[in-house]
Structure 1
Amino acid sequence: MVILVHGMGKALKGGTLQEWTQPLLQSLNDIALDYRDRDETDPEFRTLPPLIIDSADAVRESPNTFIRVLRANPRYKDDYASILITEASWGKDFLPATAGATYGWAWPSAVKVIFRAARLVSWNMVPQVAAKHVSEHMPWLRWILAVLVTILASPLIAVGLIVLGVLIVLTPIPAVGRLTGSFISLFADFLGDPETWQRKPLQAAAMRERVSHALLKWSGDPEKKVKATPVTVLAHSQGAAISAQVLLQGGVHAQNFICVGNGLPLLGYARWGDFILRKHHKHDESIFGAIGLRKVTPNPEQDPIRDWKNHASNLRWVNLWAKFDFVPAGPVGGTAGQDNEEAFKNMSTGTLGSDYGPEEHAIYNSSALIKDHIVYSKNRIEVIDPVAQLIFRDCAIPPEKITGDLWLPPLATGNPIIDTRMRVHQRMVKCLGLGRVLAFTAGALLSWQLLSNPAVTETLFRLPLVNMPQMQWFRQNDELTWLTVTALLGVIILQILNRWLWVLLHGRVERRRTSDGKPVEAVGQECLVLNLAAVFLLSVAVPAAVVTMSAAPVLVGLPLIWILGYVGLFAVLVVISLAGRPVKPLPARVPPPPASKVNK
């Protein structure tokens, strides 16, 4: 049983199910084929289909997909394991927040996000091989990086919020409202959910109830001797914060809890939600017992790690977060609404400290501050494949055959094929930043050279779009013209490098099977080399050739020196992108029981 919980923002009914289920089924299919093809004892077993979709319904109250996946061993129970995948969609269980309320919440939250994002970037920009040395001997380097990010980000966010506030004030004016209404609604839809979670406890309780209700269906009934169904909860963003409070305090149970882009370190617990826990045995005669609840001691510190130890000790908790997730997610701390800086330091320096928390895994999504938070479901190598392997292990592998060979580090087996895919994926993602920088640098050089040619500018200014009266600023202002053409060329180069070519090459790294089920040969470093070669050719070689071979080059005098300098910039960016090792994962660190219990 798999329950998917969406994050903040407007959620289409069945959308979360479709977003995650398709890639999960592809991975389950490939994993089942891996086990099937290794079995040489039963020829008939090798002819069975690896995965069967029995039903897929996205329009019910609880959209779900029912599948059967071929087990790893033909002599264990029957040939197929049944898996139900559903979603707990809480997005329509409460009154939506207004734009004004969301705006009031955004200012203090923006300050918190800026400082946490600055710290996140400062840690990520130092290669791990030097992280321990930097932490001990050059702590000021991290402070400089954090201050630079804060200085750059603060004015942009502040100006954006001020402009947004002016638009909200002017929205009642009919003419302005028609132009800005859609944008204001989008803002309220996206950030209104966390505002409601933190400031409206009653509506936050409705969010929790949706997740709790989805879990209670499968919790079993000891009185009727109905066994609980093993459940894996996969939750994103704010959905992870909601699910965490339900699982750690709500008295409902699951086998695995996987957070992606976890909102708990930023949003924390909702208020008024930690005084009661649901229970399965209704022996209490009070009003709490009548509705299946019991009194518990309040937890004023809101410590999710202690709640995990006290109320959900059998829950496997895995926290996956992208290194540049703008939320930012990060390691889970001992106080809800705060991250775990000690865990982050330990992951960066490769040491194991005295902090407590779930399994922590820093992953590579897109190396972009905003995009990183919304593409977890597209990260097959570090998210989809490990989650599918965990689901497959729990339902389709005989218990005596389980050896801990999950793809989630630190339980990886050291399989060379898996390790190679992981390394190539991580390096290719880091090279996306290289492509962004060089694409716009190349755009600046090309636009400078092209606009210095009278024939080019004359042809450009004859275009109907440029010749419109509204475009006089473009025709008369050299700086704006250059910036506009630079941005246009940069976007075109970026589209070719980071979208078309990168997706094509990275797809080769992701693929494990062909459409007819045949295994794909392991891809080594050649995809990374081809990606770097394409970046060099399109963003370094082509601009250099255009400038130097032009009849009137804009860079005259020492062409060889500036070309060598440009190639040197490329080399430095490649080293920065590839230097160091990935941040090491941390195993689960569960706090010991209280001293009173130990003494007993």
Structure 2
Amino acid sequence: MRIAPSPTPDESAATPEESVETTPDDGAESPGDVSRSAERRAGASDGGGFDRALVVVHGMGNAYRSQILLEWAEPLLGRMDWLARDRVIGADERHGVEIHESDLSGDLPIITATVRYPGPRAQAAGAPSDEDDDVEQKIAIIEARWSESFVPMNRGQIFQWAVVFMWRAIWRVLDLFVGTMVLVPWYTLVQHWTKGPDEPRALPRLVDLVIDAVRLVVCTIAFAVTWVFLVLLSVVLTPILPLISPLLLIPWFKNAAQSVIDGIVESIGDVAAWKERPVRASAMRLVVRDALARAKELVGDDGDVHLFAHSQGAAVATFALFEELSPSDYNVNRLTTVGAAVVLLGRDRWLGRPDEYRPVAKWIECNEAAGEGHGVTWANHWAIWDPFSAGPIADTAPGRRERWRNAYFPGPATVMGPEEHAVHNTSQPFLDHSVYFENTIQVVEPTARLLLGPDFPEAPVAVTQVENRLSVIDKKSLGINMLAAVAIAAILPGLPGVYAAFATLASWVAGAIGFVIGVFPGGQDVAEAVPAAIASASFVTDPNGLGPWSWLVASGLTLAVLIWLNQRLSTLTRRSREWDRCPVEPKDWLVLSSIPRAAYVFGAFVCIWLAIATWSRPPLEWLLVSAVILLIVAVFVFVEPLYSPVPVVVAARAGDSAASVMAAAAIPAPMRLRDAVRTDEFTKDLAARRRLLRPQGWRARVWARWFHDWPKTAAQGPTPPPLSAASAATPRPGRRR
């Protein structure tokens, strides 16, 4: 929602020179000629010059021009380039993505590109072929930015509405968290305990029981703490929210809280307008309709339009597509929602009229009206800690619960709903909702493969499942390390001798700052500046001055360092696995990625045990008992990411038609990591990548020498095709050259 003008890169703020950069095809164009530029583009594309158009819709909150476009276009085009240049499918230097136009400041921001990748002959041979075999796809990406399409509600109206909405959102969050934190461990324990003697097991039965029992107890306690915190927070906010607007009449309160309140209003004001003001909600949907009409012009009658929406934008886009439009009129054949608040927000509501909304039923109705093969394929991605999507999409609460359970424990899907992808973004509540575009393996790559078209070879099932499993382990480790960092930072400064060392380090830093100040002329001498700087920070430089504020500062600095290190290590391991084209044996990667987790977890174990020993001074026998209990918990926390259930794709169900049954059957059955790495698909793909290994950058070269004896394992002749390319030997309809 737009409260006040924001610094968007519009035409009025641009200089003629800046406009030239954004319109490279016409150096004489001025800022006022942007509309004429748009007309030229429209005229050039009347014949449907694009194969595929992607319309991206942003979520709640103020979105400046091109924000959602860049947020998704950059990772998607980057992954498309990475996939198109894969040597295993026969790619070479001529393949990849070429950007033609990146108009980020026009009336309708657009990015156009051509992606070229090897055709069937190169894919089948696993080696480069001639250019006549290449497949070219022209892609256009445009945004539907509705945040400025309506007049916002005032603060009083928003905060009065927010009280009821807050409680509904909190109960949905608690419902999601009880599933993720309590029911998944419980179902896992029951499943392991009831396995027959002939069924395969990853661990012995009693070991499974111990791990599952500890997980259930720890997670149940964590959920109880979370429940109490969220409910108490809601109880406190319930009488405060309606009073916020009148309190702003008090000058000192307005000066202190204005910016915070405006930020809250920008976050939830859009939602209030969507639910309570049907006329403004219609204005939001109009922006989506106009963007779809523009996308239809770009692709003509033969191209495809893909609608991609996040958060509240998913509610806006879904309602517009299935309630007000005919998808086939706009060539929309696919809808992807991420972090979708479709169930939470529902539809707009006139006073005196119920706001019951059944999005799945409307989706099925639209597909039945379009006929077999002309409907909209709907895929929904939701992070397991995302409080706004809060799980799958279905028309009833029991239906959502069944589809949620099927994501962890596959079974027959009896409830109608879209294809569900439960994903791991950060494993941190209230952060998962805004970082879907950073989830390369589970969100970005599947979408990029769809944009590449049907001629691009599918990844081997075993390879996909191994990558998914490793990605989940990586994200769960990120969350566990974060919790361990909080425990370490909270306790460490209070341990004997630790704060004295911290104060000494702080004295060195303050002294260095004072020395720099003393060097410059016009100030104190160095001999005076250094002691003065140390004295000015005495609340953290006095070894004997540990108090609440100094403890808080020391904990904050320690936590900042631990979080930064955790993020850097996670980024390094993730980039090495996802982008360096250097295949790694899963066993080796698991060993390496477990080292930081072990350091954080057992660091927290040591800090907690030393705190018990120092602050409580229990008898020796109780000190040993506490050590054993803490060690068991630490071991469980360390191994939990390796053995916890990994969510799988839940097939779409849009009726009992043959197409719906075939779509469900096409979802591959989940495999254990140990079984997946032993399949022919995975071993042949790994062998082919080793032979074609050409590491880029020092990190990839070190990795290649360490794990693959590179360059001795470089290709020494023709490489047999991987299994994934076998199906590409026969051209399929719809290719463009």
Is TM more than 0.5 here? yes
Cα gap change, 1:323/1:7 in structure 2, threshold over 3 Å: closer, same or farther?
Answer: same
Q: Give the aligned residue type for 2:595.
A: A
Residue 124 of structure 1 and its aligned partner are, at CA, apart by 1.3
Question: How large is the Cα RMSD of the aligned pairs?
Answer: 3.9
Pairing 1:341-360 to 2, within 5 Å after superposition: 341-360=401-420
Aligned to 1:285: none
- Give the corresponding residue for 1:202: 279
The letter of the residue matching 2:390 is: A
Larger radius of gyration: 2
Q: 301-310 or 318-327: which moved more?
A: 301-310
Structure 2: tracts of 5 or more residues without a match: 1-52, 120-129, 195-212, 369-374, 508-532, 658-737
Would you say the 8 A contact 2:597–2:638 is kept in 1?
no
Q: Closer, same or farther in 2 for the Cα pair 1:52/1:446, shift >3 Å?
A: same
Question: What SS does the aligned partner of 1:312 have?
Answer: helix
Aligned to 1:42: none
The counterpart of 2:65, out of the listed 2, 9, 13, is 13
Determine the structure 1 residue equivalent to 2:56. Answer: 4
Aligned pair partner of 2:174 in 114, 118, 121: 118
Tell me the equivalent position of 1:540.
602
Equivalent residue runs for 1:95-134 within 5 Å = 95-126=151-182, 131=187, 134=190
| Equivalent in the alignment of 2:304 | 230
Q: Quick one: which of 494, 505, 509 aligns to 2:563?
A: 494
Cα offset, 1:66, TM superposition: 0.5
Paired residues, what number? 530
Residues in 2 aligned to 1:573 and 1:489: alpha-carbon distance in whole angstroms: 22
Query: What code does the residue aligned with 2:475 have?
Result: V
The range that moved more, 433-442 or 319-328, is 433-442
Deviations 1:244-303 (A, max 9, x none): 01111222421110000011010012237xxxxxxxxxxxxxxxxxxxxxxxxx998532
Is the 8 Å Cα contact of residues 330 and 340 (structure 1) preserved in structure 2? yes
Determine the C-alpha separation between the residues in 2 that align with 1:248 and 1:457: 63
Higher mean C-alpha deviation, range 574-583 or range 302-311? 574-583
Deviations 1:52-86 (A, max 9, x none): 11111110111111000004427889742110011
Quick one: distance in 2 between partners of 1:393 and 1:197? Answer: 35
Are 1:242 and 2:316 counterparts?
Answer: yes
Residue among 255, 277, 301 paired with 2:333: 255
CA separation of 1:445 and 1:543: change in aligned 2, threshold 3 A: farther
Say which structure is richer in helix: 2
In the superposition, relative to structure 1, how do residues 177 and 242 fare at CA in structure 2: closer, same or farther (>3 Å)? same
**Normalised TM-score (structure 2):** 0.64
Is 1:302 matched with 2:357?
A: yes
1:245-284 counterparts in 2 under 5 A? 245-253=319-327, 254-271=332-349
Match of 2:461 among 408, 414, 428: 414
Show the counterpart of 1:578: 642
CA–CA distance in structure 1, aligned partners of residues 243 and 554 of structure 2? 30
More moved, 528-537 vs 52-61: 528-537
Q: Does 1:38 align with 2:62?
A: no
Tell me which of 434, 459, 477 is aligned to 2:480: 434
Alpha-carbon contact 2:81-2:115 (below 8 Å) kept: yes
Identity %, equivalent residues? 24
Query: Is the Cα–Cα contact under 8 Å of residues 132 and 348 in structure 1 kept in the other structure?
Result: no
User: Residues 114-513 of structure 1 correspond to what in structure 2 (within 5 A)?
Assistant: 114-126=170-182, 131=187, 134=190, 149-160=226-237, 167-219=244-296, 227=301, 229-253=303-327, 254-271=332-349, 302-313=357-368, 314-334=375-395, 340-394=400-454, 397=456, 405=458, 413-416=460-463, 418-450=464-496, 464=535, 467=538, 478=547, 482=551, 485-497=554-566, 499-511=567-579, 513=580
- Residues 465/437 of structure 1: CA separation in 2 closer, same or farther (3 Å cut): farther
Offset at residue 131 of structure 1 (A)? 1.5
2:152 aligned with 1:83 = no
Give a deviation string over 1:8-45, Cα, whole Å, max 9, x none.
011010011111111111110122112x6534xxxxx8
Closer/same/farther in 2, CA of residues 504 and 547 from structure 1, 3 Å limit? same
**Contact conserved, 1:4 with 1:85, CA < 8 A, in 2?**
yes
Between the aligned partners of 1:580 and 1:538, the Cα distance in structure 2 is 19
**Cα displacement (A) at 1:560:** 6.8
When residues 46 and 583 of structure 1 are mapped into structure 2, their CA distance, relative to the original with a 3 A threshold, is closer
- Counterpart residue type for residue 599 of structure 2: L
Where does residue 198 of structure 2 map in the other structure?
Answer: none
Q: Hey, what's the Cα distance between the residues in 2 that align with 1:48 and 1:453?
A: 59
Secondary structure of the corresponding residue to residue 233 of structure 1: strand
* Cα distance change of structure 1 residues 70 and 547 upon mapping to structure 2, 3 Å threshold: same
- Deviation (angstroms), 1:589: 0.5
The answer to which of 353-362 and 572-581 deviates more is 572-581
Task: Name the amino acid aligned to 2:341.
Answer: G
Structure 1 residue 145: Cα displacement? 7.5
The one-letter code matched in structure 2 to 1:569 is V
Contact 1:251 1:311 in 2 (8 A): no
Residue aligned with 2:445, SS: helix
CA deviation map 1:85-139 (0-9, x unaligned): 110111100012322222122211221122211121121125858527659999x
Which stretch shows the higher mean deviation, 24-33 or 434-443?
434-443
Distance 1:206 1:453, change over 3 A: closer
The answer to whether the 8 Å contact 1:266/1:338 transfers is no
CA 587–72 in structure 1, closer or farther in 2 if over 3 Å, else same: farther
Asked whether the equivalents of residues 445 and 543 of structure 1 are also in contact (C-alpha less than 8 Å), the reply is no
CA distance in 2, matches of 1:492, 1:339: 44
Q: What is the distance in 2 between the residues matched to 1:502 and 1:323?
A: 19
Any idea what SS the aligned residue of 1:340 has?
A: helix
- Indicate how the Cα distance of structure 1 residues 309 and 72 shifts in structure 2: closer, same or farther if over 3 A, else same: farther
